[in-house]
Structure 1
Amino acid sequence: MNKILLILDLDETLIHASKVLIHDNYDFKVFHYYVYKRPFLDEFIKTCSENFQLAIWSSASDDYVIEIVKNIIPHHIPLAFVWGRSRCTPIISPQIDEYGYYNLDVTSHYEYAKKLFKVKRKGYDLKRVLIVDDTPAKVANNYGNAIYSKEFKGEKDDKELTILSKYLLYLKDEQSVRTIEKRNWRRQIEN
């Protein structure tokens, strides 16, 4: 049986990037951002690469995504794909100003969705695809495939990836991940 495809988000899931120095222990710089790897990231990537087929999909700019991946994924670990914003679908979220009028500047209030039909077009069976993201709105149409991680903002004592790794190992041999309730996944591991 083929390994499950595990699609990982970058910002606030695996790393945190900031134009402002949060603390002196940043891991690397990309463009004008200080980048902090989430604690236990290296171990998480190693474990996941041994048990899943890995891919990266971020709503950040494509050039930024490539630079981040170069710094966090070892060269010997194959990735099914590395996608950035150009593979996302823009979604306009109407916003109302303080006077009750719609803000007509659509560029100020749109988000990017990660629609898994694009992955299906590449030949993947969605029953064997998981996507990890800290922003539920980006994968709302794919809730049966989604695992929502806590947002990472550079905290040194974060343990989310160790907990997530245990949960993913629990799912790795499932025939269909879509039928498994994942909304309260953390409780299943912590109990």
Structure 2
Amino acid sequence: MVSKTPTKFSKSTPKSTRSRRKKPSPLKSLIATPSAVAASIDRSFRSCRRRLIKIFTCFGILGTPKSRKHGFRRLKTVPHDDPAPPAAPTPLPPPSFPGRKTVILDLDETLVHAKTDPPPERYDFTVQPVIDGQILTFYVLKRPGVDELLKEAAKAFEVVVFTAGLREYATLVLDHLDPGGEIISHRLYRDSCKEMEGKFVKDLSVMGRDLDRVVIVDDNPNAYACQPENAVPVAPFINDPGDRELQKVMKFLEVAPLFDDTRDAILHHLSDNGIQKSQI
């Protein structure tokens, strides 16, 4: 008996039973071939670059004004408007007495001498400013003639005290020298100084006063480095009870109103005291 059961599959297989060829996984292909990775990344970059160029080209076209006779015009570069630096503030308000000249007096070593602990043998008063969160005690000695100088100067001049000292300290000292606030018209402190090469300079040109009507009395030549011709120099005061520097200043203040230009009065004063202009 012959068996009818086929021993081999037929060569023609139905479509439903045909096995489909599997496509290789892109990820596996990239892993298998490193060069393909680089090529794929390069294509991505180039495609992205082309798209960006198209986008920015559109922006350029939109931003270019239409012209009847010409084609596209190059967009103008808009300059950055940097804000101008603020003008330096005028330290002094308009003078209360327009007809008067202005005398600017230094404080430390010109009108007074002050030191911290230990206390000296001689001092006139103490002040205790708070500086950097710490209470400090200053022992202040007035220069001989300071009270007379301030009173006489206030009769004919606009009196300004301009110190390179800290406001916290100097304010308390000036309150002792002028308790009623009737002598000193204005007070200027370190924050009104100009710092040049690590030194505090008192620039008279920004004070709102004509330089031919201003005189500064100071023991430190660095302070009046910008306008030495406006300075009446004095020797530094420490603790000499026989000091006579302020008496010389009072003599100058007596003759200064006779000169149209205060600088001429200063030259006259210096020559009378044997001081050459080059020595200032």
TM range (shorter): 0.7 to 0.9
SS of residue in 1 equivalent to 2:144: coil
Query: Quick one: structure 1 residues 64 and 126, their matched pair in 2 at CA, closer, same or farther if it must change by over 3 Å?
Result: same
SS of residue in 2 equivalent to 1:60: coil
| Deviation of the 1:80 alpha carbon | 3.1
Q: Which has the higher helix share?
A: 2
The match for 2:104 among 2, 7, 22 is: 7
Question: For the residues of structure 1 that align with 2:200 and 2:119, how far apart are their CA atoms?
Answer: 27
| Deviation of the 1:163 alpha carbon | 1.7
For 1:86, the equivalent position in structure 2 comes to: 191
| Deviation of the 1:78 alpha carbon | 4.2
For 1:170, the equivalent position in structure 2 comes to: 255
SS of residue in 1 equivalent to 2:141: strand
The match for 2:203 among 106, 115, 121 is: 115
| Deviation of the 1:172 alpha carbon | 2.4
- Aligned ranges 1:18-167 → 2 under 5 Å: 18-19=115-116, 20-23=118-121, 25-31=122-128, 32-92=137-197, 110-120=198-208, 124-167=209-252
Contact 2:193–2:201 (Cα < 8 Å) also in 1: yes
Question: For the residues of structure 2 that align with 1:90 and 1:176, how far apart are their CA atoms?
Answer: 28
Identity among equivalent pairs (%): 29
**Counterpart residue identity of residue 263, structure 2:** R
Question: For the residues of structure 1 that align with 2:232 and 2:138, how far apart are their CA atoms?
Answer: 27
Query: Quick one: structure 1 residues 160 and 2, their matched pair in 2 at CA, closer, same or farther if it must change by over 3 Å?
Result: same
Contact 1:22–1:154 (Cα < 8 Å) also in 2: no
SS of residue in 2 equivalent to 1:154: coil
| Deviation of the 1:148 alpha carbon | 0.6
1:52-110 Cα shifts (integer Å, max 9, x gaps): 11011000011212111101124152433201000001122xxxxxxxxxxxxxxxxx2
1:113-171 Cα shifts (integer Å, max 9, x gaps): 00012212xxx211101111000111111112111111100211111111211122111
Question: For the residues of structure 2 that align with 1:182 and 1:16, how far apart are their CA atoms?
Answer: 29
Question: TM-score normalized by structure 1?
Answer: 0.80
Q: Aligned-residue CA RMSD in angstroms?
A: 2.0
Q: Which has the higher strand share?
A: 1
Question: For the residues of structure 2 that align with 1:81 and 1:186, how far apart are their CA atoms?
Answer: 30
Query: Quick one: structure 1 residues 91 and 42, their matched pair in 2 at CA, closer, same or farther if it must change by over 3 Å?
Result: same
Contact 1:7–1:130 (Cα < 8 Å) also in 2: yes
Query: Quick one: structure 1 residues 141 and 88, their matched pair in 2 at CA, closer, same or farther if it must change by over 3 Å?
Result: same
Q: Highest relative contact order (Cα 8 Å, sep 6+), 1 or 2? A: 1
Paired positions, count: 168
Structure 1 stretch 126-135 or stretch 172-181: which is displaced more? 172-181
